[in-house]
């Protein structure tokens, strides 16, 4: 079902620039219906490295304020907004048809998002429907079809080239600077409509723990230690 990916082969910078002129990327925005999550800003920066037009998809129950925040990011082609009760709880089963309908209308070459719990469940579904192989947790972009990611628990780095017509990608936020939310004035548009409540799952409730610490997906530095530290006092050595 999936197309294959092959290892990176060198190509001229001129050819890369030629390809970039024909690229278009859909960035999946994440938020809580009130505020844009920082990982989306990292995803926008990654999208800019691909070249071409960048569209951002904002979906939720009441997300017009979030769309306004995103519209201030410079360098975007359009903001697509979808407000629907089907997106309550951001269930991937309901969001997948929206992403597919948006892809059908605009024919993006890349669909990209930050690597989070939501997108790790959403984008593999999208990739399967498009009959392409998802490219997960990338840490670098060498070209429109060439990406860098870690393997073997981070002990090795792989550069891969994807032959798929649509690249479905999640990025590690800490490896890309957050895009600015100042200076832009992108016009918002209505995303493709449809009946997105699939009934495959139901959102019941959500309990969030409050912490002053940054999320691991967006933290610049993560320090960890195990039994070898022997006691909590020795963590200061790290």
What share of the chain has pLDDT > 70, as a percent? 80
Q: What is the CATH number of the domain that holds 114?
A: 3.40.50.620
Q: Residue 149's domain spans which residues?
A: 5-237
| Lowest pLDDT segment from 9-23, 98-112, 170-184 | 9-23
Q: At what angle do helices 117-130 and 92-106 cross, to 10 degrees?
A: 50
Tell me how many domains the chain contains.
1
For residue 208, which phi and psi values (nearest 5 degrees)?
-105, 130
213-222 pLDDT per residue, tens: 666 655 666 6
Angle ∠(223,41,218) on CA atoms, nearest 5: 10
Q: How far is C-alpha 63 from the geometric centre of its chain's CA atoms?
A: 18
Q: What is the pLDDT of residue 115?
A: 95
31-82 pLDDT per residue, tens: 998 899 999 999 999 999 999 999 999 999 989 999 999 999 999 999 999 9
Rounded Cα distance, 185 and 168, in Å? 27
More confident residue, 15 or 190: 190
Determine how β-strand 135-143 pairs with β-strand 167-171: parallel
pTM (predicted TM-score) = 0.80
Tokens of 212: 């002053």
Rounded Cα distance, 65 and 119, in Å? 21
Does residue 5 have a pLDDT over 60?
A: no
Q: What is the pLDDT of residue 168?
A: 98
Query: Residue 133: pLDDT band by 50, 70, 90 thresholds?
Result: very high
């Amino acid at each position: 079902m999936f197309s294959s990916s092959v290892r990176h082969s060198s190509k001229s910078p001129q050819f890369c620039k030629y390809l970039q002129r024909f690229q278009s990327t859909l960035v999946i925005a994440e938020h809580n219906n009130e505020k844009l999550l920082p990982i989306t800003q990292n995803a926008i920066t990654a999208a800019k490295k691909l070249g071409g037009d960048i569209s951002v998809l904002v979906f939720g129950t009441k997300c017009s304020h979030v769309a306004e925040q995103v519209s201030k990011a410079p360098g975007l082609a359009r903001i697509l907004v979808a407000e629907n009760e089907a997106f309550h709880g951001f269930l991937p089963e309901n969001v997948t048809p929206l992403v597919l309908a948006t892809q059908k209308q605009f024919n993006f070459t890349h669909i990209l998002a930050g690597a989070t719990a939501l997108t790790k469940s959403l984008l593999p579904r999208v990739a399967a429907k498009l009959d392409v192989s998802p490219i997960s947790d990338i840490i670098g972009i060498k070209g429109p079809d060439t990406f860098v990611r870690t393997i073997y628990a981070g002990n090795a780095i792989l550069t891969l080239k994807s032959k798929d017509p649509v690249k479905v990608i999640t990025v590690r936020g800490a490896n890309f600077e957050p895009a600015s939310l100042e200076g832009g004035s992108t016009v918002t548009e209505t995303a493709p409509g449809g009946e997105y409540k699939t009934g495959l799952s139901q959102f019941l409730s959500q309990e969030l723990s409050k912490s002053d610490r940054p999320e691991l997906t967006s933290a610049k530095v993560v320090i960890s230690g195990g039994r070898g530290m022997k006691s909590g006092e020795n963590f200061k050595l790290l």
